[in-house]
């Protein structure tokens, strides 16, 4: 695959995880629009997100990327004045209905934020808190799950001797990996990542990026990023958003190679020319 080759050139040390199964649809978005206090922020978005793949959402600031992501786990419910229309189907089930079980939806669709936001609890409690709340009764089970989650983000060796230390004592990169572990411990199907590495230094950012790319195949990932090189390195599919007539729109979608090597839309071409430079 072409994209794979370019990745190797740009970043030979990066480990790409297992390949994704592109045949199955995980999330299907139809005619999605979002208004904040009556003003449209996103309109007419149709997008199919394949299962097990990494889909990158790119576009200039303010074009509605975060808004789009927030629709996929109904975080939009929390935002005052936010109204969502259209349909979002997760494995065939419409999650925009008012009778959707939000608790189970958010267990299935995890989210990582731009700024690492561990709870002001111990490292261990950050991971076990939600498990306990969701009904995992035995302490040993919870500890075991926490340990596995820490392993999967490569944090176990770094923190195994201080699991009861406050999570806020960790470095920024470690905190972000802890947040990743905190989401993974609930065994979600989908992970939404909103610029997960943009607040980190280059090294920590690289670590987080490699981790994300290793999650391919096991989870469906949707990642918002301003870093086009990063999108190109880790994503299988790209969705380009743009602001037109004061509202965000999806202007182009396709596989990484399509969008980066032969963009159909001229705005996309100009936008990614920043990367080609």
Ligand X SMILES: Nc1ncnc2c1ncn2[C@@H]1O[C@H](COP(=O)(O)OP(=O)(O)OP(=O)(O)O)[C@@H](O)[C@H]1O
Interface positions with other proteins (CB under 8 A)? 73, 75, 78, 80, 102-107, 110-111, 113, 115, 117-122, 124-125, 129-130, 133-134, 164, 166, 179, 182-183, 186
Burial of 72 (0-12, 13-18, 19+ CB in 10 A): buried
Nearest CB to ligand X, comparing residues 43 and 263: 43
Interaction pattern, residues 13-32, with ligand X; x per rule: CB under 6 A: --------------------
Determine the size of the site formed for ligand X (CB under 6 A).
11
Burial of 209 (0-12, 13-18, 19+ CB in 10 A): buried
41 binds, options Mg ion, other proteins, ligand X, none, Cβ within 5 to 8 A by partner type:
ligand X
Residues 217-276 that bind ligand X (CB under 6 A): 248
For 1, 54, 256, 261, the CA distances from 5, given in Å and listed in that order, are 7, 17, 12, 13
Nearest CB to Mg ion, comparing residues 163 and 221: 221
As a whole number of angstroms, the distance between CA 12 and CA 16 comes to: 10
Residues making contact with Mg ion (CB under 5 A)? 66
Using an 8 Å Cβ cutoff, are 234 and 212 in contact? Answer: yes
For 74, 138, 155, the CA distances from 257, given in Å and listed in that order, are 31, 47, 33
- Residue from the set 10, 62, 169, 262 that interacts with ligand X by CB under 6 A: 62
As a whole number of angstroms, the distance between CA 115 and CA 123 comes to: 17
Residues 66-85 that bind ligand X (CB under 6 A): 66-67, 79
Residues that bind ligand X (CB under 6 A): 36, 41, 61-67, 79, 248
């Amino acid at each position: 695959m072409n994209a794979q080759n370019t990745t190797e050139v740009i970043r030979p040390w990066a480990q790409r995880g297992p390949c994704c199964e592109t045949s199955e649809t995980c999330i299907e978005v139809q005619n999605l629009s979002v208004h904040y206090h009556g003003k449209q922020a996103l309109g007419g978005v149709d997008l199919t997100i394949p299962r097990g793949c990494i889909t990158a959402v790119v576009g200039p600031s303010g074009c509605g990327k975060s808004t789009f992501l927030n629709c996929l786990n109904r975080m939009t419910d929390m935002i005052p004045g936010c109204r969502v229309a259209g349909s979002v189907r997760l494995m065939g089930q419409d999650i925009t209905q008012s009778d959707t079980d939000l608790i189970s939806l958010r267990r299935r669709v995890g989210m990582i934020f731009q700024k690492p936001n561990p709870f002001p609890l111990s490292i261990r409690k950050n991971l076990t808190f939600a498990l306990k709340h969701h009904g995992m009764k035995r302490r040993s089970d919870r500890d075991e799950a926490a340990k596995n989650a820490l392993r999967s983000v490569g944090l176990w060796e770094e923190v195994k001797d201080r699991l009861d230390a406050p999570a806020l004592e960790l470095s920024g990169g470690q905190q972000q990996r802890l947040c990743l572990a905190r989401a993974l411990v609930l065994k979600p199907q989908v992970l939404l990542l909103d610029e997960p590495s943009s607040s980190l230094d280059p090294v920590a950012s690289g670590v987080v990026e490699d981790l994300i790319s290793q999650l391919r195949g096991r989870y469906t990932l949707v990642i918002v990023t301003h870093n086009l090189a990063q999108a190109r390195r880790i994503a299988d599919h790209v969705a380009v958003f743009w602001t037109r007539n004061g509202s965000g729109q999806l202007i182009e979608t396709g596989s990484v190679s399509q969008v980066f090597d032969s963009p159909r839309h001229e705005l996309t071409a100009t936008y990614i020319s920043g990367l080609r430079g």
